[in-house]
């Protein structure tokens, strides 16, 4: 069975995700979890966490696989969300269905990924990080300042929501459709990321990450494959952006600040750079620390001397920073390091 699933990794992903999609709502329905927040709150939370899971998977391709440290990943998230806003809102006058906007968003962000990736091709390591950081700041600022088209700080509201034949238009107070949509999207993204990673393309990325000169000397066109990594990573963020925009029915530039890029990168480091499931689990965990645990700490310590005075939400970046430092010292590969088992072994190739 194990052997079979090692060969059929897409099926493996589907089975695991279905498992997750069953277990999570069941857990949320138990009284322990119910004490934190009502069931619907959990389900909405899962769907929100899914956005970060998608971002982490996308960033994992750029940083984890191809080894290109990108500190401005939120830019692609923003482009995806605004593409959706321009394509499907009363404000823009366009009314393209959500299902069509997903591939459109992915393609538009992929193009931006290439456009932003191209000037950075000669850069490595810290220099690349600084330049991508710059782009990560530029994009939200452009969105903020071109208020003639984007309404600036006010953002664009009233974006269309997804619609399906039987369910009708998804509603913000009904979390089930969003939850299932999120799981399906993650499934598609994961399978795509996994298949690409376990192909000639994925091997080329890893080779570039390990030793760029040796990669070039083994026939890999490093320019093409780096741009491809940027494009594919970005398109994943584009899908996440479209999902976010349609879910909130609202976009504004301050949803895509530097903190988003850093959070996603922290998720990746925590979960395990280079490992698909590590990235996903890291994103999921960190999202819930951020959105629920810290809030609950505030509630729980209310009235307690000293501890009650602390606003744990304000400490989140301190905590993330600490977590990263500890991870780097104790477990540099992350919670779920890129395992050997997840590699191409003799006989992995299917008939």
Binder to another protein among 21, 180, 216, 297 (CB under 8 A)? 216
Least distance CB 347 / another protein (angstroms): 8
Is 57 one of the binding residues for another protein (CB under 8 A)? no
**Residues with Cβ within 8 Å of residue 118, at least 6 apart in sequence:** 227
**Which of 63, 156, 215, 264 is the binder for another protein (CB under 8 A)?**
215
Token look-up 């538009």 returns: 108
- Residue 251's φ and ψ, nearest 5 degrees, are -130, 140
Whole-angstrom distance, CA of residue 243 vs CA of residue 108: 15
Q: Which residues pair with 157 in a beta bridge?
A: 250
Residue 144 vs 192, nearer CB to another protein: 192
In angstroms, what is the minimal distance from the CB of 315 to another protein?
35
Residue 35, burial from CB neighbour count under 10 angstroms (0-12, 13-18, 19+): exposed
121 contacts another protein (rule: CB under 8 A): yes
**What mask, x for binding another protein by CB under 8 A, covers residues 163 to 202?**
-----------------------------x--xx--xxxx
CB–CB of 270/263 below 8 Å? no
Among 94, 218, 259, 314, binds another protein (CB under 8 A): 218
Structure tokens at 177: 């459709």
Distance CA 320, CA 262 (A): 10
Tallying the residues shown for the chain, one arrives at 351
Contact status, residue 83 vs residue 238, Cβ threshold 8 Å: yes
Q: Which stretch binds another protein (CB under 8 A): 33-41, 53-61, 178-186, 208-216?
A: 208-216
Distance from the Cα of residue 243 to its chain's centroid: 11
Residue from 157, 222, 296, 298 that binds another protein (CB under 8 A)? 222
Identified binder of another protein from the candidate list 23, 27, 90, 118, rule CB under 8 A: 118
> Are residues 267 and 334 in contact, defined by beta-carbon separation less than 8 angstroms?
no
94 part of the interface to another protein, by CB under 8 A: no
Q: Which of 153, 221, 259, 314 binds another protein (CB under 8 A)?
A: 221
How many CA atoms are closer than 13 Å to the CA of 16, on its beta-carbon side?
17
| 3 binds another protein per the rule CB under 8 A | no
Note whether 37 binds another protein by CB under 8 A: no
> Contact between 295 and another protein (CB under 8 A)?
no
Burial of 117 (0-12, 13-18, 19+ CB in 10 A): buried
Nearer to another protein, 121 or 144 (CB): 121
Distance in angstroms (rounded) separating the CA atoms of residues 267 and 64: 12
Residue of 213, 303, 306, 309 interacting with another protein (CB under 8 A) = 213
Query: Which of the stretches 51-59, 173-181, 209-217, 250-258 binds another protein when contact is defined by CB under 8 A?
Result: 209-217
**Nearer Cβ to another protein (189/244):** 189
Asked if 344 touches another protein (CB under 8 A), the answer is yes
Q: Which two tokens stand for residue 35?
A: 């004490």
Residue 168, SS3 per DSSP? strand
Positions 126 through 165 that interact with another protein (CB under 8 A): none
Q: Distance between CA 293 and CA 270 in Å, rounded?
A: 17
Please report, as residue ranges, which positions from 233 to 262 form the binding site for another protein (by CB under 8 A): none
Residue ranges binding another protein (CB under 8 A) = 10, 114-115, 118, 121, 192, 195-196, 199-204, 206-207, 210-211, 213-224, 227-228, 232, 338, 340, 343-351
């Amino acid at each position: 069975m194990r052997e079979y699933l090692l060969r059929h990794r897409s099926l493996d992903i589907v089975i695991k995700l279905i498992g997750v999609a069953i277990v999570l709502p069941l857990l949320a329905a138990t009284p322990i979890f119910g004490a934190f927040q009502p069931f619907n709150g959990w389900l909405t939370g899962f769907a929100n966490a899914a956005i970060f899971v998608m971002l982490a998977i996308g960033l994992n391709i750029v940083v984890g696989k191809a080894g290109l440290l990108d500190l401005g990943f939120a830019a692609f998230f923003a482009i995806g969300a605004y593409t959706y806003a321009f394509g499907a809102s009363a404000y823009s006058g366009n009314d393209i269905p959500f299902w069509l906007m997903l591939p459109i968003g992915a393609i538009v962000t992929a193009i931006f990924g290439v456009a932003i990736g191209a000037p950075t091709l000669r850069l490595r390591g810290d220099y690349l990080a600084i330049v991508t950081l710059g782009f990560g700041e530029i994009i939200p600022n452009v969105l903020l300042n071109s208020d003639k088209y984007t309404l600036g700080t006010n953002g664009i509201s009233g974006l269309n929501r997804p619609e399906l034949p039987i369910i009708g238009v998804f509603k913000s107070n009904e979390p089930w459709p969003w939850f299932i949509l999120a799981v399906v999207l993650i499934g598609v993204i994961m399978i795509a990321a996994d298949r690409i990673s376990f192909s000639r393309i994925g091997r080329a990325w890893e080779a570039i990450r390990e030793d760029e000169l040796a990669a070039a000397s083994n026939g890999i066109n490093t320019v093409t494959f780096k741009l491809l990594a940027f494009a594919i990573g970005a398109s994943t963020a584009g899908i996440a952006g479209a999902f976010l925009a349609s879910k909130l029915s609202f976009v504004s530039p301050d949803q895509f600040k530097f903190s988003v890029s850093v959070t996603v990168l922290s998720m990746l480091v925590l979960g395990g750079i280079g490992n698909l499931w590590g990235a996903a689990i890291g994103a999921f965990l960190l999202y819930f620390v951020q959105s629920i645990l810290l809030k609950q700490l505030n509630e729980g310590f209310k009235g307690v001397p000293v501890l009650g005075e602390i606003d744990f939400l304000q400490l989140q970046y301190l905590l993330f920073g600490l977590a990263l430092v500890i991870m780097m010292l104790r477990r540099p590969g992350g919670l779920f390091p890129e395992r050997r088992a997840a590699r191409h072994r003799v006989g992995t190739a299917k008939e």
